[in-house]
Amino acid sequence: MSTTAHQSHSVHANGIEIHYLDQGEGAPLVLLHGGVVSTNPIWSRVPIAYASHMEALAEHFRVIAPDTRGCGLTAHAGGPVNFDLLADDVASLIGALGLERPLIAGFSEGGITAAVLGIRHPTAVRAIVNHAGFDAFDPDAPTIPMMRQILGGSPDATEPDPDAAARGFEASDQMRAMFELMKRDQDDGQGEGHWREYLRLSWDRTTQPLGYTYTDLAKITVPTLILTGDRDNFCTVEQAVAAYRQLTDGELAILPGHGHYIPPAAIQTTVEFCARRLATRS
């Protein structure tokens, strides 16, 4: 299979121009990035981004990696951005590209979107990999106050505060470096200061209840892998098991010694799951 460098494209879908990367050949795999990052190659070697893993995945699949609405090079037409809208964006992208039931994999925020897609559009994809994107289905998850702290400066915050978020990111060397990449990425993509709007848009969907619970995962009719690390502070092993037990055709993979990031072991697990599901497709 070809693993030549990715090609950058855009397509009109769900009322906006969605930017996406396209690399490799074979069965299509739609790859959904997590929060803060995008498909921009500047995120290579940042462990919460898929950017470093495009080549490895493209050895097995045709990888189609879109930028989320309002992020990177995909603009937003206005109004709140919730996960229903993001899932509908992906369903529309699949249709616009003429993809026939592709595989889909997402990390963190991308995993949430992939699962909501499976609920709202049960025939759109062939199989789902939800890597650390299932905590949102737990109405008592600590993620909501954590995100209010990150984006609003307090676990009790009622609105986004980009300046408070900046101070929080700058509190450590590691987070400061990621924050600077995020600002560069968002501002280069959509104009000076867009990073503030990106954080505001993120607030709408990450600091409120999802609107779905674990029981809604039973509505997903396609094979679904729940994947996490045993040291993930956002998506715990206990939450992974709760999510997995609701699935009608599910698998569960726990990576020992890993936290909330994308290690090579997660990519290998994703490849193996997708290959199994392709081999047994009807």
Give the tens place of pLDDT for each residue, 35-46. 999 999 999 999
Stretch(es) of the chain classified as CATH 3.40.50.1820: 7-139+211-279
What is the average per-residue pLDDT within 63-68? Answer: 98
| pLDDT over threshold 50, residue 1 | no
pLDDT of residue 281: 67
Instruction: Give residue 144's pLDDT band: very low, low, confident or very high (50, 70, 90).
Output: very high
| pLDDT over threshold 90, residue 6 | no
Quick one: 7-139+211-279 is in which CATH superfamily? Alpha/Beta hydrolase fold, catalytic domain (3.40.50.1820)
pLDDT of residue 100: 95
Give the tens place of pLDDT for each residue, 218-251. 999 999 999 999 999 999 999 999 999 999 999 9
The pair of structure tokens assigned to 5 is: 């460098």
Burial class for 214, CB neighbours closer than 10 Å (0-12, 13-18, 19+) = middle
148 contacts 140 by C-beta, under 8 angstroms: no
What is the average per-residue pLDDT within 61-84? Answer: 97
Q: For a pLDDT cut of 70, what percent of the chain falls above it?
A: 98
pLDDT of residue 120: 98
Average pLDDT over the chain reads 95
Q: Which of 127, 106, 28, 113 is nearest to 69 (CA)?
A: 113
pLDDT of residue 241: 98
